[in-house]
Amino acid sequence: MSRPIKINNHPFRFLLYLEWILLAIAVLSAALPHPSPRFAAKFPELTICCLVIFGLMGLRLPTNNYLTKIIYTASEVLLIIITGIFGGRTARLFPFLYIILVTRSCLIFQSSGRLFITFLSFILFLLTLQYRFPRPPLPPPTQEKFRFFSFSLAMLFGLSLVFILLLMNAVLSERKSRDKLAIANEKLRQYALKIENQATLEERNRIAREIHDSLGHSLTALNLQLETALKLWQSNPTKAFTFLTTAKELGSKTLKDVRQSVSTMRSHLLQEQSLEQAIATLLEDFYRSNGVIPICQINLVYPIPIEVSTSIYRIIQESLTNISKYADATEIKLEITTKIRSLVLIIQDNGRGFDLKQNTTGFGLQSMRDRTLALGGEFKINTTPGSGCQIIVDIPMTRLIT
């Protein structure tokens, strides 16, 4: 249920201020004495009371209960009729009261209700106009002028009501669209914040898995080597020196893993270079570290969006990292091909392979699978112990249109 329209939540306060100005002028016209009885108000106290009540009713417009809206509008119409009949010269301002009535109805009713109130205001205006003008017999020229004046005044007032109705509909429609846009923007902001938090959580989990899989194992082995060296330092210095040498090698390997992890977390790698150039640099670093030159074949027919290129680069990077750590491969093949409906990435090695049923939760495999699924693609692994590993990534065409 919507809240009633008050001063603090009025959508158009300038209309409220304009109502007060018109009503203040009407109250002064009724309160000040006039030398001609013809223009004096018959019951100024009644007129002022009706105008004050009419003005106070504008401070709270009902919007939730249909019966309340009808009673509220009927009360306004009754007050306007009383003012038009007994207001004297104040009655000259009663058309403006109908305009106020139409603007208020636009705020509390839907389209059908607004049209009805506008039509009712015009009919009441004609009836009140007929009541206010003199009725004695007039000469034919005067009657003709009187009819023309009445017709012109009625047409002008009717067009004014239609203009007010159309203007209020346009303004309210624009405000409604703006409110919907603001709500949509707020939902989008909350969704983006949720995605950001989710991405942050996933990145933390990824870093935790990386530390556990690489640094944790290396540091544990390093600690065991140092503890053994300390125990043998006095009784068997030669053997202790061997353990220290092994610890030194583990420390170097751990430092290398740290640098590689930091390099992996670098962002925007493909903003200043193409995917082909980034892959070439990656393969060169792999060769320097492992002494194996991967066989690379890249066939990109059309440009690839940056988010897809980044994911492909990360998948290749993580695949090479896993091959370097666990595969002991001597031959690696890398192939990227754009087909009619998809982009296909194939990474294959002749290393040790592994059992998929026992090794499906490591950082590398899970990260590559998540990146592929995020692009709406398909991720496959073909491997058995002792027969190498083949990774196939298939990204659909819908993600490749730039």
Q: Which of 73, 78, 77 is nearest to 109 (CA)?
A: 73
Cα dihedral sign, 27-33-39-42: positive
Residue 119 forms part of a structural domain: yes
Among the three residues 132, 166, 190, which one is the final residue of a domain in this structure? 132
3-state secondary structure at position 64: coil
Look at strands 332-338 and 295-299 and give their pairing. parallel
Helix (H) or strand (E) segment spanning residue 193: helix 140-210
Token digits of residue 326 = 């666990």
Cα dihedral sign, 258-264-268-270: positive
What is the pLDDT at residue 337? 92
Domain count along the chain: 2
Residue 178 forms part of a structural domain: no
Among the three residues 76, 109, 132, which one is the final residue of a domain in this structure? 132
**CATH number where 336 lies:** 3.30.565.10
What is the pLDDT at residue 1? 44
CA 130/CA 87 separation, integer angstroms? 15
Residue 357 forms part of a structural domain: yes
User: Which structural domain range is residue 47 located in?
Assistant: 13-132
Residue 210 forms part of a structural domain: no
What is the pLDDT at residue 9? 74
Token digits of residue 80 = 């306007």
Residue 397 forms part of a structural domain: yes
Alpha-carbon distances of 164 from 45, 91, 96, rounded to whole Å:
31, 21, 11
Residue 161 forms part of a structural domain: no
Residue 341 forms part of a structural domain: yes
CA-based end-to-end distance of the chain: 45
Task: Pick out the chain residues at pLDDT < 70.
Answer: 1-2, 32-43, 87-94, 131-138, 143, 206, 209-218, 260-272, 359-363, 399-402
Residue written as token pair 């492909």: 312
Buried b (16+ CB within 10 A) or exposed e, 132-165: eeeeeeeeeeeeeeeeeeeeeeeeebbebbeebb
Token digits of residue 317 = 């990077």
Q: What is the pTM of this model?
A: 0.47
- 296 bridge partner residues: 334
Per the document, the length of the chain is: 402
Residue by residue, DSSP assigns 84-145 as HHH-GGGGGGHHHHHHHHHHHHHHHS-HHHHHHHHHHHHHHHHHHHHHHS--S---HHHHHH
Alpha-carbon distances of 154 from 39, 79, 95, rounded to whole Å:
21, 21, 10
Residue 379 forms part of a structural domain: yes
Token digits of residue 175 = 């405000």
The radius of gyration of the chain's CA atoms, rounded to the nearest angstrom, is: 42
CA 383/CA 361 separation, integer angstroms? 15
Token digits of residue 165 = 């109705």
Token digits of residue 155 = 């047409």
Q: Which of 354, 367, 355 is nearest to 261 (CA)?
A: 367
What is the pLDDT at residue 359? 62
Residue written as token pair 């320097």: 288
CA 304/CA 316 separation, integer angstroms? 16
What is the pLDDT at residue 152? 83
Among the three residues 97, 132, 167, which one is the final residue of a domain in this structure? 132
**Residue 257, Cβ neighbours under 10 Å: how many?**
20
Alpha-carbon distances of 267 from 114, 159, 260, 304, 314, rounded to whole Å:
57, 64, 14, 18, 10
